[in-house]
């Protein structure tokens, strides 16, 4: 343990924050807060989430996120590459004269085979030196040629106008653009929600069939949403926390 978890717990206790208070302020679940303070990072989804949560938690507590991330990085032990031990076996080397002998035997066998084939197909009483005369070719009978029927020009297929294509599009596609650092939790078509922290200048595309629900937004002013190519109005102010923003086809029709 590098000690970053103890620093986070000490800073939280100094502010007299309970775990529930900390969850409300940082938008990080209690079980993840406990994992960060106890440095049990295997509970979190992965290293990217660990760094994101550490950075967010440190900022809320007034600590330097860079120091906390460096302590976390130093606690990760590099994986030791397995050592492969070659088996103690003796490899017999063949003498250098074996290969030429084998090649010579194969060449001699090929010559004998070629002579045998030639004698087998050579008819008796024929002069091997006489030139070969090919028999006359039989001409093909004349057939009445028919003129090809005129080709009918293909009628180009008419493409659907853009408005018809747009009206037949199925599902919902939400383009989330983060202009500021933002924590967000998303649920699609009633499935299990997923969450993450996104830095400024990043974006994420979310697709659903009937409903896309923004369960919780940690910084509403740092997020802009485009639904099926239509820009939505501003969701809120910087630092404002929003919950249960539901995007449906009815929402799309109102844009």
What is the Rg, in whole angstroms, of the alpha carbon atoms belonging to the chain?
Answer: 39
**For residue 19, pLDDT beyond 80:** yes
For residue range 98-118, list pLDDT tens digits in order: 566 677 778 788 887 877 666
pLDDT at res. 246: 92
**For residue 223, pLDDT beyond 70:** yes
CATH T-level assignment (fold) for domain 4-75: 434 Repressor (Amino-terminal Domain) (1.10.260)
Q: 36, 7 in Cβ contact below 8 A?
A: no
The residue that leads in pLDDT, 130 or 199, is 199
Please tell me whether residue 68 adopts helix, strand or coil conformation.
helix
Q: Retrieve residue 61's tokens.
A: 């507590």
For residue range 133-152, list pLDDT tens digits in order: 554 544 444 544 444 444 44
User: What mean pLDDT, rounded, does the chain reach?
Assistant: 76
Please tell me whether residue 224 adopts helix, strand or coil conformation.
strand
Burial class (CB in 10 A: 0-12, 13-18, 19+), 110: exposed
Residue 55: pLDDT band with limits 50, 70, 90:
very high
pLDDT at res. 235: 86
**For residue 196, pLDDT beyond 80:** yes
Q: What angle is formed at CA 233 by the lines to CA 231 and CA 238, rounded to 5 degrees?
A: 120
pTM of the model: 0.36
**For residue 249, pLDDT beyond 70:** yes
- What percent of the chain clears pLDDT 70, i.e. is strictly above it? 68
């Amino acid at each position: 343990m590098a000690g970053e978890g103890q620093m986070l717990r000490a800073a939280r206790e100094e502010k007299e924050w309970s775990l529930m208070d900390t969850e409300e302020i940082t938008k990080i679940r209690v079980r993840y807060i406990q994992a960060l303070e106890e440095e049990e990072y295997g509970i979190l989804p992965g290293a990217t989430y660990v760094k994101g949560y550490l950075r967010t938690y440190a900022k809320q507590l007034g600590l330097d996120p860079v120091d906390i991330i460096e302590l976390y990085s130093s606690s990760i032990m590099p994986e030791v590459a397995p050592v492969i031990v070659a088996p103690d076996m003796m490899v017999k080397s063949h003498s250098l004269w074996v290969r030429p002998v084998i090649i010579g035997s194969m060449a001699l066998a090929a010559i004998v085979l070629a002579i045998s084939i030639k004698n087998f197909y050579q008819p008796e009483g024929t002069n091997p030196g006489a030139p070969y005369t090919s028999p006359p070719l039989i001409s093909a009978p004349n057939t009445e040629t028919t003129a090809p029927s005129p080709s009918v020009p293909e009628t180009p297929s008419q493409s659907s106008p853009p408005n018809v294509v747009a009206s037949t599009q199925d599902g919902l596609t939400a383009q989330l653009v983060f202009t500021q650092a933002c924590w967000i939790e998303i649920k699609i078509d009633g499935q299990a929600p997923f969450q993450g922290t996104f830095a400024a200048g990043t974006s994420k595309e979310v697709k659903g069939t009937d409903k896309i629900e923004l369960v919780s937004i940690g910084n509403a002013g740092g997020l802009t949403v485009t639904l099926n190519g239509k820009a939505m109005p501003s969701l809120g102010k910087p630092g404002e926390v929003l919950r249960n923003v539901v995007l449906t086809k009815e929402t799309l029709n109102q844009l």
